[in-house]
Amino acid sequence: MISRGQPMIQTEALTKIFRRSRARDVVALQNIELSIDQGRYVLFQGPSGSGKTTLFTLLAGIAHPTRGCVLFQGEDLSRLSDVALCRLRRDRVGFIFQDFQLFPRLTVLENASIALLPLGLSRSVRFLKATALLERLGLEDRLDHSPEEMSGGERQRLAIARALVNDPELILADEPTSNIDADSALRVAALFRELNEQGKTLLVTGHRDDLLRDADEIYQLDRGEIVHRDRGGAG
């Protein structure tokens, strides 16, 4: 279990500007200052276009900031090579994308277990770990289906399983309950709660009451800036 109280993620004047040749530059994030301890459950809220998804891609090292930096347990992500960043995301970070990013020609079980391929685990071990998560998320009857045969909510749950299968220390979930029904959302919320109790750090975007209740703190974003910070329902 990860010990609480040690900074996992810090940002310093984190800024992201999208340059456009024939139009005004878009400031997606501006001077974001965060310090998130290990084992915290942090919820980010804000209207569409407020910068939540951009922030998460920077925190995961998927995109690079225009100015400022992201520190992962004190290590500046901008100083890491592409290989080192890939290794960090593979071994320590789970990212749940809004648009799923599933492989349509692979089965549900293959999609969920694909993050384990670089770890050198046997096929049976990979499938066993993935099956356990898929069952937790109510997809045990879909293992041999393709993503194209599933509803949007089922694909979202599959994306969640794939992000969690490598047992990451840090989980970034971008609107993980936005496309699923109420019962499925309760499953996801319960799983996140359990992971957080195990010491995992969760950064989540969303507005559902179950997410609000479980969060340790809540950040409100608007036009690329943090405009408010509050304690969550967990206190």
* Beta strands across the sheet bearing 7-18: 26-37, 7-18, 67-72, 75-76
- pLDDT the model gives residue 182: 86
Rounded to two decimals, the pTM is 0.90
pLDDT digits (tens, 9 = 90+) for 84-133: 999 999 999 999 988 889 999 999 999 999 999 988 899 999 999 999 99
pLDDT digits (tens, 9 = 90+) for 120-167: 899 999 999 999 999 999 999 999 999 999 998 899 899 999 999 999
Domain positions in the chain: 7-231
Residue pair 43/93 in contact (Cβ under 8 Å)? The answer is: no
DSSP for 37-55 reads ETT-EEEEE--TTSSHHHH
Write out the two tokens for 168: 């990451």
Say which CATH superfamily domain 7-231 falls into. P-loop containing nucleotide triphosphate hydrolases (3.40.50.300)
